[in-house]
Structure 1
Amino acid sequence: MAATMEVTFECQSEMNSVIYCLLLAIMYVGSLYVCGIQLPRDHPKTVTRRIAAVTIVCVIAPIFLLFIGQPTGQDQPVRWLWHWLGIRWEGFFLAATLPLLLTMILFLGPLSMAIVDLYQVDSLVSPRMWCEEDFCSLIFLRNFIVAPISEEFIFRACMLPLLVPCLGITKSIFICPLLFGVAHAHHAIERFRSQEQLLNILFSFIFQFTYTTIFGTFCAFIFLRTGHLIGILLCHSFCNMMGFPAFHQIFSYRRPISAIISILFVVGLASFIYLLFPLSDPSLYNNDIYHF
């Protein structure tokens, strides 16, 4: 056990590192149900208690990491626990802007649709707002503040320091998001309780698992490349606001609007791929935490 906040993480075994991460995932998802409320997930009492529960888990998780970590040796650079968790000042401004900019470039098509809808420019569809909730509501607090912070903190900042020493950078980037995707299975349980059709539940779970796993891979990549938590928090919140791109609505617009939007989808994806490595270059963020 680490005696101070100066800590390093060494590989005990690949199995142990995965088990530790599973325990963190179980703690997080289990906290959503430990309060025992049978009310709908959007009921104010449910939202309030779940926010309190995940907040407690986020306090416990770093303590859990301290028990697993080892004190920093004399021949090792000083690494505070907060550095491993992506909480540091070096490169903070760029970490708060460049990953978000990269994500917005990827969403160039959906952003253009949102702008067209917002100003109702020659559109055949009714305006779609990114966020219909009141900015002061509990739903907004949960979806765009608490969920991004708690999920990224637990599933990226707390898990990757455990996985990387044993599995390496590449494997960790792809394994960590699988836990994130599986953790969303509890939504299927809630749909089942609401007596939704089983086929719809299965399709929804497969879709959500795939989408969250892909998104989790991107966040793990950005976290390890930048060594910062702030960037993936903002990206997560932005993606929650945007939702999954509404590809099926592209051709609901009159020409040439639909053609322009289609081009922007392609340009956004191509630009994202081209800029992914340059904008996440560890040297921009003074990142040597994960030994790039």
Structure 2
Amino acid sequence: MEYAAPPSSTYWLLYRDPLFSAATAQVISLLFGTTYVGVLYLSQRTRASSTPPNGGSVMGTRDDPKIIRARLVAVTLATLACCVGIFVLLFAHVGYDTDFLDTTLDATLLRLGLPLSFSPSFDSVRAHLVVPALFLGPLFASALSRELPLQRHWRWRPHVVDRFCSMQGVRNYALGPLTEELVFRACVLAVWHMAGIGRGAMISFAPLIFGLAHIHHGLETFRRYGRNAAAAKRAIFTVLFQLAYTTVFGQLASFLFMRTGSILPPVSAHIFCNIMGMPDPAWEVQRHPRYRVAIYAAYGLGIATFITTLWRWTATADSMYWPMFWADI
């Protein structure tokens, strides 16, 4: 246990009283989520086709490069609008009269977890390693398949250029995670925090907005696969799975954001999870039956490492969302 010297007392007193009610915070956060999803349907350019795919073509679907490009522009503008909304809320209630920050803009950046300064160190990097530790099992299986960077079956063009430099790559591994985390983590949690909502509720329930924001994928699935009973079943399964997965991930990302006071660890975790996909140990054991015990051991070690590092490696003495005078570092 190491003592972390407390910063200026004005840091902890900054906006210590709720600026508005919890109900108002929930309405605002729902408005943020609705704005982010709603812009995808305001224009014909951003709407995915309502007809089934023809011969496997992505034209007109959500994976059509033209639709992806239009949607990325739309959600980027929506994200900027939500961030400006945080600025407006702070300016309306506090203005420039603060002891700790010179301007409301600085206060907004602090609330959004955007770094006012950056000094590289292990303390600033270790929070980014927690989620990769959880994926030790899939990483070990990829190593067995010689698919990790610089291994035999890894190729620069298919594994890097084609995957990350396409429009789908920009959406899945860059602008998508960044804008979603800024809106559904930074903006939503900032509003809930301004209302004086407790940390437990913020971690447990705020991510539901992130989960609900993915329901529209079910509607697109229903339209894409023929608007019939089979399409409805597929859409319901898609919605339930994405609601569960995104809510659980949202809870983890909320924890990372609040513990570190930075939006960067949630963004890196989001990108890494998108790269790795859903772990499937049974399939990996089927591919490498000789290493069955080793694969399951790697999964267990990854889970154990994640549990033991989650609290310690995310400790940040100056997070306004999780203030600590004693940092267990």
Query: Are 1:29 and 2:5 counterparts?
Result: no
Query: Are 1:47 and 2:68 counterparts?
Result: yes
CA contact (8 A) 2:281 2:296 kept: no
Query: Are 1:161 and 2:161 counterparts?
Result: no
Q: Deviation per CA, 1:245-269, whole angstroms, max 9, x where unpaired? A: 1133132034441211111101111
Residue 100 of structure 1 deviates from its aligned partner by 2.2
Whole-Å Cα distance in 2 between the matches of residues 113 and 205 of structure 1?
29
Query: Are 1:85 and 2:85 counterparts?
Result: no
Identity %: 28
Whole-Å Cα distance in 2 between the matches of residues 22 and 215 of structure 1?
19
- Structure 1 gap segments, 5+ residues each: 1-6, 121-125
Q: Give TM-score scaled by structure 2 length.
A: 0.77
Whole-Å Cα distance in 2 between the matches of residues 226 and 18 of structure 1?
23
Whole-Å Cα distance in 2 between the matches of residues 36 and 93 of structure 1?
47
Alignment of 1:91-110 (within 5 A): 93-94=121-122, 97-110=125-138
- From 78, 94, 98, the equivalent of 1:57 is 78
The one-letter amino acid paired with 1:274 is T
Distance 1:119 1:211, change over 3 A: closer
CA contact (8 A) 1:152 1:232 kept: yes
Residue 76 of structure 1 deviates from its aligned partner by 5.2
Query: Are 1:175 and 2:205 counterparts?
Result: yes
Alignment of 1:264-275 (within 5 A): 264-275=298-309
Distance 1:75 1:44, change over 3 A: closer
Look up the match of 2:53: none
Q: Give TM-score scaled by structure 1 length.
A: 0.87
Whole-Å Cα distance in 2 between the matches of residues 249 and 54 of structure 1?
35
CA contact (8 A) 1:40 1:46 kept: yes
Tell me the secondary structure at the aligned position of residue 180 of structure 1.
helix
Distance 1:229 1:207, change over 3 A: same
Whole-Å Cα distance in 2 between the matches of residues 234 and 68 of structure 1?
28
Residue 147 of structure 1 deviates from its aligned partner by 0.6
Alignment of 1:1-292 (within 5 A): 8=15, 10-37=18-45, 38=49, 39-69=60-90, 70-71=93-94, 77-78=100-101, 80-88=107-115, 89=117, 93-94=121-122, 97-119=125-147, 133-165=162-194, 166-194=196-224, 195=226, 197-283=231-317, 286-292=318-324
Residue 117 of structure 1 deviates from its aligned partner by 2.0
Q: Deviation per CA, 1:219-278, whole angstroms, max 9, x where unpaired? A: 000000000111111111111000111133132034441211111101111111111110
Q: CA RMSD in A?
A: 2.6
Kindly name which structure, 1 or 2, has the bigger radius of gyration based on alpha carbons.
2
Tell me the secondary structure at the aligned position of residue 281 of structure 1.
coil
Matched residue count: 279
Distance 1:58 1:119, change over 3 A: closer
The one-letter amino acid paired with 1:189 is L
Distance 1:130 1:97, change over 3 A: farther
- Structure 2 gap segments, 5+ residues each: 1-13, 50-59, 325-329
The one-letter amino acid paired with 1:21 is S
Look up the match of 2:327: none
Residue 173 of structure 1 deviates from its aligned partner by 0.9
CA contact (8 A) 1:131 1:241 kept: no
CA contact (8 A) 2:193 2:321 kept: no
Tell me the secondary structure at the aligned position of residue 197 of structure 1.
helix
Whole-Å Cα distance in 1 between the matches of residues 163 and 304 of structure 2?
35
